Structure 1
Amino acid sequence: MEKWEYKTLKFKTGGFLGGKIDEYEFQEELNIHGDEGWELISCFDTTQSQGTSRDIIVVFKRRKMVQM
């Protein structure tokens, strides 16, 4: 049976009303985790008020290494 492990990251947004994120930094962070074997399975924002985003949440998974 396959086993999985999960990792969750939170990225803060900026700007006067929120919702802005450094796309280059975001992409670099995703690539770093991809190089470590993590697969992005979900990405969503958390709402602050009136539809503006407070945080971006990303969820990764990878096959758990079983030690024998």
Structure 2
Amino acid sequence: MELWEYRTLKYATGGFLGGKIDEQEFQDELNEYGSQGWELVSCFDTSQSQGASRDIIVVFKRKK
């Protein structure tokens, strides 16, 4: 039986009305987790209002 471990990260978009993240920094961090054997399985935002995003939630998994 395969065993998995999971890691969930939250990235704040900043600002009272929602904001942006640095795309290159975000990509670099995803690549860093990938180089450690983590596989991205889900990425979604949490809504704030009027289409703005409050946070971005990222879920990774890897074999134990």
Q: Which residue of 2 aligns with 1:44?
A: 44
CA distance in 1, matches of 2:56, 2:19: 9
Q: Which residue of 1 aligns with 2:56?
A: 56
> RMSD of the TM alignment (CA)?
1.3
TM-score between both structures, scaled by the size of structure 2? 0.91
CA positional deviation for 1:16: 6.6
Count the aligned residue pairs. Answer: 64
CA positional deviation for 1:19: 3.8
| SS state at 1:20 partner | coil
Structure 2 counterparts to residues 15-26 of structure 1, below 5 A: 17-26=17-26
1:30-65 superposed Cα distances (whole Å, 9 cap, x missing partner): 01100100000000000111221000000000001x
TM-score between both structures, scaled by the size of structure 1? 0.86
Q: Which runs of 5+ in 1 are unaligned?
A: none
CA positional deviation for 1:29: 0.6
- 4+ aligned runs moved over 4 Å, structure 1: none
- Mean CA deviation greater in 12-21 or 33-42: 12-21
Q: Which runs of 5+ in 2 are unaligned?
A: none
Structure (1 or 2) with the larger CA radius of gyration: 1
CA distance in 1, matches of 2:62, 2:16: 36
Identity %: 78
